[in-house]
């Protein structure tokens, strides 16, 4: 009898090798090669084996598929208006961030509107899922709970019950009996996702799968998983804060620029209709080092308070500490302030914080952070009803940013009377609120003269 062939598969990227390697030659990960049995292709049972004949593109019928509202408006907003029938949605996020809570609310909303929903849990028992539903107030007779990890048994039950929506929690716990490897391995995750994708396309039932993330923030398993699904959503947020942000990384049926904002409460995830007002609700008045930034979360404008604290260091090397802002960006801005503006910051510790647990990654936050650092260094408070936005270059110039009209409109809605923006954006504005004073600046020095 021939000895079975053994391959070693990288658990990060899916690269296979006939022998064990300490480092994956494809992705560079260390100690990621795991021994697995090769998968022999077999005919799938329960699926159509008919071959579709090619036809001219002009003869293909374009039947529109109406989207299904989930009852969670922020979730529908990110998807582009609702769930598309026959789509496969992947939801990823850190452990304990609220992925299961979000999908339980979505499954309940769809089951109440369109028929029975099926929530499959491979991590919790049925009683534990019910306890979560009771806490959220999401008990619905039309939502069915199933505890199973065998993907074939799940698809057999789904084929009989014909749910309006199927949720898999989580894909790393599912396994195919045909594959001789442990659940969560590359082969198991890939084959389970392929079967769910085939089921969604053949039955026109939308399927959502929950995926864990690695310490680097990527979905656990091979990158092929993200290519197989139709939509990839990331659920982000800080555990110590109630804010949660849902972003679309990939969306075949809509835009990837939308974002949904939630707050984790005792009753579950609550949608925030006016996040800017909530983020600025506890902002101190006339305090040095505090500046309001007109931030863009996708295409959604938010007003965020950026705080800075500058003090003389007692060590040989000054500290640069950031929370919610890029550390290297802060070091660059302080170098610009010292070289182009003349502030002596070489012996100063600097701490920058984005209030509310929001991660600010947009370059448009440069000018607000620079003014907050200068305000704390000089111990001079800025006008509390002023909003600041602009990208800063190494020569000290203030560059244009995108969607300035939406940022200004959001600031005017919340009662701000002044805005410091790049000169290029000032001349390109389509609508100028009469109640706001718009100041265009070309350099950081001009912005400091206008604010301080």
**Beta-carbon neighbour count of residue 334 at 10 Å?**
24
Residue-by-residue DSSP string for 182-248:
-TTSHHHHHHHHHHHHHHHHHHT--EEEEEEB-TTSSBSS-THHHHHSSEEEEEE--TTSSEEEEEE
What tokens does 429 get? 């504005």
Which residue is listed with tokens 């265009």?
440
Tell me whether residue 170 is annotated as binding. Answer: no
Tell me whether residue 290 is annotated as binding. Answer: no
Return the DSSP state at 149: -
Nearest residue to 307 via CA among 365, 245, 348, 241: 365
Tell me whether residue 100 is annotated as binding. Answer: yes
* Cβ within 8 Å of residue 394, ≥6 positions away: 332, 336
Tell me whether residue 221 is annotated as binding. Answer: no
Residue-by-residue DSSP string for 344-384:
--TTEEEEEEETTS-----GGGHHHHHHHHHHHHHT-PPPT
Say whether 169 sits in a helix, a strand or coil.
strand
Tell me whether residue 356 is annotated as binding. Answer: no
CA 129, CA 154: separation in Å to the nearest integer? 17
CA 57, CA 88: separation in Å to the nearest integer? 24
Tell me whether residue 95 is annotated as binding. Answer: yes
CA 370, CA 310: separation in Å to the nearest integer? 12
Tell me whether residue 93 is annotated as binding. Answer: yes
What tokens does 355 get? 């209030």
* Cβ within 8 Å of residue 135, ≥6 positions away: 266, 267, 268
CA 170, CA 435: separation in Å to the nearest integer? 51
Q: Binding-site residues for ATP, please?
A: 93-100
Q: Binding-site residues, please?
A: 93-100
């Amino acid at each position: 009898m021939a000895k079975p062939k053994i391959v070693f598969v990288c658990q990060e990227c899916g690269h296979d090798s006939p022998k064990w390697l300490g480092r994956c030659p494809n992705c560079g990960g260390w100690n990621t090669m795991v021994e697995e049995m090769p998968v022999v292709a077999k005919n799938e049972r329960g699926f159509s084996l008919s071959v579709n004949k090619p036809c001219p593109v002009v003869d293909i019928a374009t039947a529109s598929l109406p989207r299904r509202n989930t009852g969670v408006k922020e979730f529908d907003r990110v998807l582009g208006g609702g769930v598309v029938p026959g789509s496969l949605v992947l939801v990823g996020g850190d452990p304990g961030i609220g992925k299961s809570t979000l999908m339980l609310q979505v499954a309940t909303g769809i089951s109440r509107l369109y028929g029975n929903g099926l929530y499959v849990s491979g991590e919790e028992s049925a009683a534990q899922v019910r306890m979560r539903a009771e806490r959220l107030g999401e008990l619905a007779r039309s939502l069915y709970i199933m505890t199973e990890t065998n993907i074939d048994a799940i698809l057999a039950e789904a084929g009989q019950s014909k749910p309006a929506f199927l949720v898999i929690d989580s894909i790393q716990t599912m396994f195919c009996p045909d594959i001789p490897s442990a659940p969560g391995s590359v082969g198991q995750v890939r084959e389970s996702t392929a079967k769910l994708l085939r089921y969604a396309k053949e039955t026109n039932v939308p399927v959502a799968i929950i995926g864990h993330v690695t310490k680097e923030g990527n979905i656990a398993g091979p990158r092929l998983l993200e290519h197989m699904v139709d939509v990839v959503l990331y659920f982000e947020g800080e555990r110590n804060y109630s804010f949660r942000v849902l972003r679309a990384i990939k969306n075949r049926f809509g835009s990837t620029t939308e974002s949904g904002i939630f707050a984790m409460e005792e009753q579950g995830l609550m949608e925030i209709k006016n996040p800017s007002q909530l983020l600025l609700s506890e902002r101190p008045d006339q305090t040095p080092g505090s500046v309001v930034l007109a931030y863009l979360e996708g295409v959604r404008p938010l007003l965020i308070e950026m705080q800075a604290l500058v003090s003389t260091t007692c060590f040989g090397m000054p500290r640069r500490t950031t929370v919610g802002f890029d550390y290297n960006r802060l070091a660059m801005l302080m170098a610009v302030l010292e070289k182009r503006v003349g502030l002596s910051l070489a012996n100063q510790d600097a701490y920058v914080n984005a209030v509310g647990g929001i991660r600010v990654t947009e370059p448009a936050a440069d000018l607000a952070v620079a003014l907050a650092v200068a305000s704390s260094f000089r111990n001079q408070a800025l006008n509390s009803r002023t909003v600041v936005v602009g990208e800063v270059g190494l020569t000290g110039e203030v560059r244009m940013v995108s969607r300035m009209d939406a940022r200004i409109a959001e600031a005017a809605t919340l009662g701000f009377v002044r805005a410091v923006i790049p000169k290029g954006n000032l001349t390109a504005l389509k609508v100028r609120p009469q109640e706001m004073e718009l100041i265009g600046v070309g350099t950081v020095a001009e912005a400091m003269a206008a604010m301080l």
